[in-house]
Structures are given as C-alpha cells and as structure tokens.
Homo-oligomer: A and B are copies of this chain.
C-alpha cells in the first residue's frame, strides 16, 4: 500500500487539520466529534449539513462555505459518520431556521442519520436523500439507487437557495427536485485501497473496466473489456438519458467527475466527447463542471452526471460560492 501515512489512525484527523489550515479563512474543524463548519456562520437562514464516509474528497468537507454547506461530517474511510457527528454539527450551525441534511442513499448513512434525527427532536430538521446513480436499482450497500457525484449539484443549488433565504420546507422541496432532475453513472479502470485494510477493494484485469461502479468500488452493471473513450461515453450517457427523458432543446448541466486517479487531461477529453454526444441528442449543455469532485481515493475512472436545468436551477448554480474546492 503506497500512501502518505504515518499512523493509519491519524490519517483522517491529521488530514482534516490540514484542510482547516489550508482554508482557515473559510472553514474550521471541530475535532471531537469531527465536523467541518464555516468560520463565519450564516445568520437567520436555514443551515445545510451533509456528510458521509471519508475517501471521497473534496466531497463533502471541501464544499463547506458561503453559498454551499454550513457543515460536513466526515466518517472513517468509506464508513458512515456517527449520529453524534450529525447531531453536534446540526446544533453548531443551526441559526433558528432549522437544518436541512443532505444524505447519500447508503444503508449505513441512512441508519446513522436516522438515529441522529430521532434524538434531534428539539431541532427543526428535514432530510434530502440523494440517489442519482442510475447504474443499478439496488446494491449491497443500499436499498434503491446510490448517491454519487450528483450530490455536489444538490449541495450547490440548495446551498444557494438557503443563502438567499429559502425556508426549510422550500430547501427540502428544491433538494428533492434537483435530485430528481439529476442522473449519474461511472466507470472504473482500477480499484482503490482503503488505508485501514491495506488491500485493493476489488480485482480488475488489465484489459477490463467496471461499468456502473459505485464510489466505494462496489460492483456496477457489467464487467466489460476496455473500450475507446467515445464508446465509454455512450455507455454512460445512454442510461442517464433514458432515466431523465429530456426533450430536445432542453438545457442541461454536464458534470464530468474524476474518481481520483484519472488525469485532468482525460476528464477534459470526456467533456469534449460527452458534449458532442449530447449536442447530437439535441440537448444544450448550458453549464459544465469538470474535475475530481466525488472521488474514490486513488481509483482511476470517471462518472458523468446530467442535471436538467431551468431558469431557477441555472441561477442557483451560477450564484456565488466560496468553499475550499468550489468557488466562483
């Protein structure tokens, strides 16, 4: 296992310290229980709290800041945050208008969040569950579809609405709407190594790819022979387009996400190919985001995410954001 590590147990706390030091104008770390929150808390607004297993950075801790999350709870690598993390983060950032939780649809995340929710009966809160992954209907880790790179889109758009003063029920409805308008699918070329285990999460041959891979390296739809990039783009977009059923002329957001180990050059290549394919379908790519945003440690691979846009969603996407890893 070739990683920058001293003690495995120190990796997450030390890494969170490193994040907080690098972005001390934007975020602060609460060490125990662990959550990252804005340095300057929002006043008189709905607060947004997200979280999930570590190893997907910058999701979620890199998206805390003005225009996006108020706090994020990092679990152990690929492991759900604990109820006390969710509760402490919610109490810390609640500004009197309630807390919206954004949770990816995994059994562990749902369960731990539910325990927190049961104990938060003194705090007005609602939850948006993100399940944008169209690769499979159920997985060993989830009942129903999994939440993957579309989570960023939900966090960005709802973050903008909360910043602008939307009430809790409006933020919840918006989050559900963005989730429903969003579909993703990924492909992996290599596995990844969870530091605590020291071994590859799955085996994959030199000429194989895992289509529809999950962000923890869990199986997808199909193990296929490696294919040219333009074929891969077609394989990823077909189920996304089938799911979203977009009319010709519809504006979309295209998010090309790297899983960690794929160079930016290849992600831009995918953007070029996906744009061409979507244009051929009569869609208008009105907004684009390319980069390593929802990762699986050092996994080589990528995912494509589409969100069907309208004027409201475009304005929410365009609204200013200032976080460690997303800013405009």
**Complex contact B5–A229 (CB within 8 A):** yes
Q: Which residues of chain B are near A226, meaning CB under 8 Å?
A: 2
Which of B6, B18, B289, B328 makes the CB contact (< 8 A) with A268? Answer: B18
**Complex contact A18–B269 (CB within 8 A):** yes
- The segment from A122-130, A216-224, A292-300 found at the interface with B is A292-300
A42 and B189 alpha carbons, distance in the complex (Å)? 42
Minimal beta-carbon separation of A129 from chain B (angstroms):
25
A144 at the interface (CB under 8 A from B): no
**Complex contact B265–A263 (CB within 8 A):** no
A209 and B4 alpha carbons, distance in the complex (Å)? 11
**Complex contact A265–B57 (CB within 8 A):** yes
Interface SS of chain A: helix, strand, loop or mixed? mixed
Interface residue ranges of A54-69 to B (CB < 8 Å): 54-55, 57-58, 62
- The segment from A103-111, A146-154, A270-278, A309-317 found at the interface with B is A270-278
- The segment from A8-16, A85-93, A134-142, A244-252 found at the interface with B is A8-16
**Complex contact A229–B15 (CB within 8 A):** no
Minimal beta-carbon separation of A35 from chain B (angstroms):
16
A262 at the interface (CB under 8 A from B): yes
**Complex contact B264–A62 (CB within 8 A):** yes
Q: Whose C-beta in chain B lies nearest to the C-beta of A328? A: B327
A302 at the interface (CB under 8 A from B): yes
**Complex contact A271–B6 (CB within 8 A):** no
Which of B15, B232, B270 makes the CB contact (< 8 A) with A272? Answer: B15
**Complex contact B228–A5 (CB within 8 A):** yes
Which of B2, B4, B271 makes the CB contact (< 8 A) with A18? Answer: B271
**Complex contact B273–A14 (CB within 8 A):** yes
A230 and B11 alpha carbons, distance in the complex (Å)? 12
Q: Whose C-beta in chain B lies nearest to the C-beta of A288? A: B22
Q: Whose C-beta in chain B lies nearest to the C-beta of A264? A: B57
**Complex contact B275–A21 (CB within 8 A):** yes
The 9 closest A-B pairs by CB, nearest first: A18-B268, A18-B272, A18-B271, A2-B189, A4-B266, A57-B264, A4-B229, A15-B268, A15-B269
